[in-house]
Amino acid sequence: MPHVITQSCCNDGSCVFACPVNCIHPTPDEPGFATSEMLYIDPVACVDCGACVDACPVGAIASDTRLTPEQIPFAELNASYYPPRPAGVKTPPTSKLAPVIPPLEIRARRHPLTVAIVGSGPAGMYAADELLTQSGVRVNVFEKLPTPYGLVRAGVAPDHQSTKRVTRLFDRIADHRDFRFFLNVEVGKHVSHSELRAHHHAVLYAVGAPNDRRLDIDGMGLPGTGTATEFVAWINGHPEFAALPVDLRYERVVIIGNGNVALDVARVLTADLNELARTDISDHALSTFRNSAVREVVIAARRTPVHSAFTLPELIGLVAASEVVIDAADRDRVRRDLATVSDPVARTKLEILSTLPDGSAPSSRPRIRLAYQLAPQRILGKQRVSGVEFVVTGTDEVRRIDTGLVLTSIGYRGKPIRDLPFDDAAGVVPNDGGRVIDPDSGRPLPGAYVAGWIKRGPTGFIGTNKTCSLQTVRALVADFNEGRLSDPVAGSDALAKLVRARQPNVVDAAGWRAIDAAEVIRGNADGRPRNKFTSIADMLAAAAAAPVPPRRRLTDRLRHLTLPN
């Protein structure tokens, strides 16, 4: 029976390389890969070996006989990517990724390639993985939080636990003997770019895009307005957002923007509490949700249904998990658009939208209303939000929606990195294939690289960062091989000493493992995958319980022996 890729596909392409018959497309070297909403298994060519199931880091692949009812639409979706053919027709194998460092070159060097990676989200971890495929390379990963993995921990929705399973792959990468974590260390605050340069051949920034795009209309900033960026960080227990004031005593929430983040927020706001209580949602969010009065979440898009920013897999998942409605006028628009659209993914999205009810029937559970052609004009209210005023796009018609909470979900934005150039219009570090470019000279800044959202902007899935990081790593290694990177002036002990002097509370891999284990134990007691610590102090206390490595115990014993009585 053929295998099927389902909703949580992260596009990292691991399955493509595991597949012995090249039946998974688009592959990273095919043109459609960068823009594809997911990867698809060709049911005609699949030989049912299951190699892709083992390779997938997020558990997104299942045999077509084992699909849950919600996953069944994905069987047709996978098949529809391929033109109809007779059974047994195979495509030629895709090219595997080439090794990046000629082994002889590296043996000839005095200093093995040593790279500092700043940020431990997907881009940083995939970059480390690519570098460590070569023997003798050393990687130090600096992360400002005591816990690693960026948006996988602090962004991916708590009800998408299978997506969060990619952290197991990241844990395996971090276990490599030439990988070292410096957690709870903020580059630009505790250590500078030039200090990292002095201790490494290269510094690769994978710091993501932590800010949000601002909606510049009157009334934003009133109590009751906020951003999805802050809201998802609060739900996910990010320590900087634990005290966010979230008030859910209102019947309607309006979300502006209809990307996948908007869908995540709406789904969680209307989710069954018993199901949420079995996830790793933060305790503070869960207790706020227990007292929620929310009955409807409106997702307001400024354009028409055919331009919906959410992806098809996420729409399929939303409709399966939640009660979703659409106004009759928008549904008529969907049906008109269907007559003109030929792209299969866009058509399937419209077909799903065309079957949604209009919400006129009473509902026993909170619902999500998809609304279109609403361009936000101003936030209404004096002491706090009472509504949002929109103009219906392409008309003069003004429409008002009453609400007590408005969340903008209009995209993320990179922020400047100290000592590096910044392209303020694009919100990224200027770069050429990952090499940071000095805008004055137009030439690469020696030893500085970027990957992930700070390199290409805030779009794409977890796995999109794998090919992005590979491109950067290839540029970095080419520069190293051609002698363009200066050797570090000090060794790893000097680096560790410098970091500890600046940040005595640095957390290492053992510390992270101790935090991880403590969170899992706390969670399992309540039938949850983990119960996250949401304060840095609690994380550090858990990290301190990490077993002392044997070498250190010996040193401690020797020190003890030399102490005066």
Question: Which positions from 128 to 147 touch ligand NAP by CB under 6 A, shown as an x/- string?
Answer: --------------------
Residue 366 lies near ligand FAD (rule: CB under 6 A): no
The three-point CA angle 292-156-428 to 5° equals 120
Residue 292 lies near ligand FAD (rule: CB under 6 A): no
Binds ligand NAP by CB under 6 A, chosen from 211, 348, 459, 486: 459
Looking up tokens 């000839």 gives 108
Residue 236 lies near ligand NAP (rule: CB under 6 A): no
**Which value, in Å, is the radius of gyration of the alpha carbons in the chain?**
25
Q: Which residues contact 61 (CB under 8 A, 6 or more apart)?
A: 3, 4, 5, 6, 15, 41, 52, 53
Compute CA 40 distance to the chain's CA centroid, rounded to the nearest angstrom.
21
Interface size with ligand FAD, residues (CB under 6 A): 35
CB of 154 to ligand FAD, least distance (A): 7
Residue 258 lies near ligand NAP (rule: CB under 6 A): yes
Which single residue brings its beta carbon nearest to ligand FAD? 121
- Sole window of 24-32, 138-146, 302-310, 390-398 interacting with ligand NAP (rule: CB under 6 A): 302-310
Residue 113 lies near ligand FAD (rule: CB under 6 A): no
The three-point CA angle 191-197-199 to 5° equals 85
Helix axes 73-80, 344-354, angle to 10 degrees: 150
CB of 169 to ligand FAD, least distance (A): 13
d(CA 78, CA 67): 13
- Answer with the entry of ligand NAP, ligand FAD, none that 225 interacts with (C-beta below 5 to 8 A by kind): none
Pick the closer one to ligand FAD by CB: 215 or 222: 215
Pick the closer one to ligand NAP by CB: 43 or 452: 452
Binds ligand NAP by CB under 6 A, chosen from 231, 234, 412, 480: 412
Residues 186 to 215 in contact with ligand NAP, rule: CB under 6 A: 215
d(CA 74, CA 267): 20
Residue 220 lies near ligand FAD (rule: CB under 6 A): no
d(CA 246, CA 267): 17
d(CA 527, CA 248): 26
Residue 182 lies near ligand FAD (rule: CB under 6 A): no
Count of all residues that appear for the chain in the document: 565
Binds ligand FAD by CB under 6 A, chosen from 33, 142, 179, 241: 142
**Structure token pair of residue 33:** 């890969």
Residue 311 lies near ligand NAP (rule: CB under 6 A): yes
Q: Residue 549 burial by CB count (10 A; 0-12/13-18/19+): exposed, middle or buried?
A: exposed
CB of 166 to ligand FAD, least distance (A): 8
- Footprint of ligand NAP (CB under 6 A): 215, 256-262, 264, 301-303, 307, 309, 311, 314, 376, 409-412, 458-461
